[in-house]
Structure 1
Amino acid sequence: MNYEFTIIVPIYNEEENLERLEQELSAYISNTKTGTQVLLINDGSSDRSQQLIEGICGRHSEFHFLEFAENRGLSAAIKAGFDHADTPLVGYMDSDLQTAPEDFDLLLQHIGEYDLVTGVRASRKDSFVKNMSSLIANKIRRAFTNDGMDDTGCPLKVIRTEYARRIPMFKGLHRFLPAMILLQQGKILQVPVRHFPRMAGKAKFGLWNRLLGPLADCFAYLWMKKKYINYTIAKKG
């Protein structure tokens, strides 16, 4: 089958969510009009996640996996997905299912005109502390990047693979994907998507990861923006 779209799903110790993840993603693949495959990235899990992942991939030809030798973090998992995707479009979502795979179709409607379409979580179902820290972090990041995005932490995005592969990833850069597309003179859009409470497993980000870490990353982004190489070929012969 000629797939058009690869969904990257980073996984770190999410054994309690993987059965439901399999059900929801396989149902989405069956119903969407876009030829879709799934790439599960096991980011060095220490629980039964890898065993369950291999079972899922054995049951569905559209599912594939990569297993890291050790835990390397969310940005590394996303980069691995970008590196190994073989479709024109790539997207990603979290394995905790706080966003719905069906909402990828809301993003795919616009990807013809844009190079990145990201979700913005409407009526977030997180704790007050988590919501407030994310709100503050997004305001700080937006002041540094001027990307106009309200919720870059939303784990539901669709990107043209040619743009995704040109992003020079570093740890924490997953929060700056829209800004990195703008550096490539690409076009970006945000679209409201649904958000659900976490049903199982534990959140992997605390106050440092969500607020203080991104602030430090903003300075790394500014350095990268100043040094970023971008060019357009006018003629070839």
Structure 2
Amino acid sequence: MTYQLTVVVPVYNEEDNLLRVEQVFKDYFKIADVPTQVLFVNDGSKDNSRQLIEEICTRSNGFQYISFQKNCGLSAAIKAGFDYTKTPLVGYIDSDLQTTPEDFNILLKYIGEYDLVTGHRADRKDSFVKNMSSTIANKIRRAFTHDGMDDTGCPLKIIKTDYAQRIPMFKGLHRFLPAMIMLQNGKTIQVPIRHFPRIAGTAKFGLWNRLIGPLIDCFAYLWMKKKYINYQVGKKSDA
């Protein structure tokens, strides 16, 4: 099969969710609008996640993995997933499945015209503190980046791979994916998708990660924007 979309699934201590990820994606493969595969990125998990991932990839078609030697963080896991993708399109979803792979079909409707399509969790099923801190962080980030995104942290995205692989990722920059595509003169759009409560496992981000951290990262983004090199070749010699 010639796959068109690789969905990156970062994993850090998510052993309670992985069998559900396997089944949900096996169901999605049957209805996906384009041939789709999954790339697990094991971010140095300390529980049984690595073994479960290897078992899933051995017994089920459409699943691959890479595994870090130690924990490097979400941005590194996403970046590695982008780098190891060989399909024209790359997606991203969290292993907690608070979003559903079925909604990739919604995003795929827009990826022809746009270079990044991200979900917008219009009806988030999170705690008040989590929702409020994310809302504040998004307003701060939007003031710095002017990317027009209301929910840049939504863990459901599709990007054209050539754009994704040019993103100069560093820790925390996963919150700025739309802005980084715009630095490449790419087109972005957000569309409403469904959101569900977390069923198993624990959240990896607290108040610091959602509020204070993103504020600091905004200054890193401004530095990146000032120094970013962007060029287009108008003509070249024949081979």
Q: Aligned residue for 1:109?
A: 109
Find the counterpart in structure 1 of residue 147 from structure 2.
147
CA distance in 2 between counterparts of 1:56 and 1:31 reads: 20
Match of residue 191 from structure 2: 191
Q: Distance in 2 between matches of 1:197 and 1:108?
A: 24
- The correspondence of residues 10-159 of structure 1 with structure 2, limited to 5 A, is 10-159=10-159
CA-CA distance at 1:122 after TM superposition: 1.9
2: distance between equivalents of 1:80 and 1:5?
16
CA distance, structure 2, for counterparts of residue 45 and residue 159 of structure 1: 26
Distance 1:122 1:105 in 2: 17
Deviation, structure 1 residue 10? 0.1
TM-score in terms of structure 1 length: 0.99
Write the distance in 2 (CA, Å) between the matches of 1:122 and 1:208.
23
C-alpha contact (below 8 Å) 2:2/2:35 kept by paired residues? yes
Letter in 1 for 2:60: H
* Unaligned residue ranges in structure 2 (runs of 5+): none
Q: What TM-score, normalized to structure 2?
A: 0.98
Counterparts of 1:32 and 1:78, CA distance in 2: 22
Give me the identity figure in percent: 72
- List per-residue Cα deviations over 1:30-60 (Å, max 9, x = no partner): 2213010100000000000011101110111
C-alpha deviation, 1:181, in angstroms: 0.4
Secondary structure of the corresponding residue to residue 131 of structure 1? helix
Q: CA RMSD in A?
A: 0.5
The structural deviation recorded for 1:9 is: 0.1
Q: Could you tell which deviates more after superposition, 57-66 or 153-162?
A: 57-66
Corresponding pairs, count: 237
Q: Please state whether the residue corresponding to 1:31 is helix, strand or coil.
A: coil
d(CA) in 2 for partners of 1:230 and 1:220? 18
Amino acid in structure 1 at the alignment position of 2:206: G
CA distance, structure 2, for counterparts of residue 200 and residue 141 of structure 1: 29
What are the equivalent positions in structure 2 for 1:209-220 lying under 5 Å apart? 209-220=209-220
Question: CA–CA distance in 2 between the matches of 1:226 and 1:210?
Answer: 24
Given residue 9 of structure 1, which amino acid in structure 2 is its aligned partner? V
Deviations 1:51-78 (Å, cap 9, x if unpaired)?
1101110111210000100000000000
Distance 1:230 1:112 in 2: 22
2-structure distance, mates of 1:97, 1:235: 45
- Counterparts of 2:131 and 2:97, CA distance in 1: 17
CA distance in 2: counterparts of 1:95 and 1:32, whole angstroms: 18
Stretches of 4+ aligned residues off by more than 2 angstroms: none
Contact 2:33–2:108 at 8 Å: present in 1 too?
no
Secondary structure, counterpart of 2:39 in structure 1:
strand
- Partner Cα separation in structure 2 for residue 26 and residue 211 of structure 1: 35
Q: Which moved more, 1:26-35 or 1:12-21?
A: 26-35
Q: 1:173 is matched with which residue?
A: 173
Cα shift readout 1:146-195 (whole Å, capped 9, x = no counterpart) = 00000001000000000001000000000000000000000000000000
